[in-house]
Amino acid sequence: MQVPHFLSSTFRTRSDTISLVLLICLALATVSFYAYSVPQVYLRIRDAKQLAARQMEAFSQWIANDTNDTWESTDHRDKNGSVAGGSHPGDDWPTKSPLEVCVGSNQTIGEVEDLFCMPRPNYEPDFKNPCWWETVTNTTGGQPLDLPSRELRCLPYFHILCCSKSGTTDLYWRIAQHPDIVPNVGYFGKEQLFWAWLKNGFLGKWNKGPSKPFIDYINGFQSIANYLSNDTMPVKQKTQLVTYLCSLVDGSPLDMWDLRGWILLPQNRGLREPQVMTPHLMRHLYRDPKFIVLMRDPVERLYTAYLFHKMGNNSESFHLAVVKAIAMFDDCLAHAPSRRECYFNGSVIEHLPADVHFNCYAVFIKEWLAVFPWKHFLFMRTEDYSKNLKSSLLEVFRFLDLPLPDKRTMKKMVELPIAHHTQEKDSAGAMLPETRALLRKYVEPCNAELAALLKDEKYLWKDV
């Protein structure tokens, strides 16, 4: 049997090769037996995947112990998902991941399109927005025409991430008044829903459908790309393309924290917790993305989101939901080897009567900071944004490297009415004092983790 070249330094004997084959066959046989020969298929498949993963982990360790080759991992998380090191905002952390390789999706087991099998586009330097030219063949009646043509394709220049019911819709519509920002034409004029949902076949928190390919995401910006490719438009105007990736249900961006789809990525096949997620996919395909992360006091945010999503309609039901959700999630954390197995586990999240897991913003931000350097992010509090609209908007434009708008445009931005008000909260009444006290205590360690991560005590929300 021909030993692959990359293993030639390790497997130098025929017995080594036979051992390799037997190990792989054993892993595959284990999966097949559990998946097709016993009842309770879902649990058995999960157990089989875990066993196969352990076998392959042992095999990988065998290779590592028997070779002089060295390889440095740059995933800086500890067992709880924390990002290690003494870096501070502004530092560039190592971002290379050894898992960002083309594997190929197995659709028979529900895997989604493998975006690592796509090369990064050859971006056009004349556009500040990440756009590239693609050669297309026009057809008439199914027959190609003689002359192919070029078509401009684009991805977003920046994203607004984070929190449901934190003012992100309001921020979006204010900055969209900037002459160099082109709003996208997705759902509600601002949402594409691709990274968190449509790519994975999610149609909300509970509903499922067919997964959407990456070309559908690109096509969502085609009308904007056609506008940018207009030869009569000055190049200096061909600048920004903003996308606001949100839930179809609540109009808020989910890409930062709804990461349930990791289990459908080929690179995570057989793993108990994710090693490749949305930020890895973006880094592979994007040029130099920017992310605005707007965060609201998690206690107040949770109550507003609970009512907006119609998970309940009064403060009493909210209290019961919070008590139950905390008990459920704490039980998961108590029994899981890593907290990431709970925070990114769809089977756990989808059964929570209130989304208490998302109150720990630091858990999710660390996943993004493990992939992108600090310079890609602008972190803001909703409370500061609401009190100081003008200064907050100017901070956003500087972060995006955009020219500051004139006084008339800025005045228009600031004077726009609030984009959305949760009317359900008016009829539900204020949060019960006992619920607020319970949540304040529950989020305290999470807020402390966030404040330490961002090196700013305002994220303790002691002033609200």
Going by C-alpha positions, the residue among 338, 328, 322, 341 that lies closest to residue 441 is 322
All residues at 6 or more sequence positions from 408 whose CB lies less than 8 Å from its CB, including other chains: none
pLDDT of residue 231: 53
Question: Concatenated DSSP letters for 45-71?
Answer: HHHHHHHHHHHHHHHHHHHHHT-----
pLDDT over 90 for what percent of the chain? 47
Look up residue 194 and give its two tokens.
């691709």
The mean per-residue pLDDT over the stretch 414-421 comes to: 89
Query: For residue range 84-134, what is the model confidence (pLDDT) as tens digits?
Result: 333 444 444 444 455 678 999 888 888 999 999 999 999 988 888 888 999
Of the spans 77-81, 150-154, 389-393, which averages the highest pLDDT? 389-393
Query: Is the model's pLDDT at 235 over the cut of 50?
Result: no
Helix (H) or strand (E) holding 399: helix 389-399
Going by C-alpha positions, the residue among 423, 382, 378, 354 that lies closest to residue 166 is 382
Local structure of 352: helix, strand or coil: coil
Residue type, 403: P
Look up residue 359 and give its two tokens.
């109150």
Query: For residue range 426-453, what is the model confidence (pLDDT) as tens digits?
Result: 788 999 999 999 999 999 999 999 999 9
Query: For residue range 360-402, what is the model confidence (pLDDT) as tens digits?
Result: 999 999 999 999 999 999 999 999 999 999 999 999 999 999 9
Query: For residue range 339-353, what is the model confidence (pLDDT) as tens digits?
Result: 999 999 999 999 999
pLDDT over 70 for what percent of the chain? 70
Q: pLDDT category, 27, cuts 50, 70, 90?
A: very low
Query: For residue range 303-325, what is the model confidence (pLDDT) as tens digits?
Result: 999 999 889 999 999 999 999 99
| CA pair distance 5, 65, nearest whole angstrom | 18
The mean per-residue pLDDT over the stretch 190-210 comes to: 82
The mean per-residue pLDDT over the stretch 50-74 comes to: 35
For 140, 208, 220, 346, 464, the CA distances from 203, given in Å and listed in that order, are 35, 5, 17, 14, 35
pLDDT of residue 407: 96
Q: pLDDT category, 240, cuts 50, 70, 90?
A: low
Mean of the per-residue pLDDT values of the chain: 77
For β-strands 290-295 and 158-162, DSSP reports them as: parallel
Look up residue 364 and give its two tokens.
């999710």
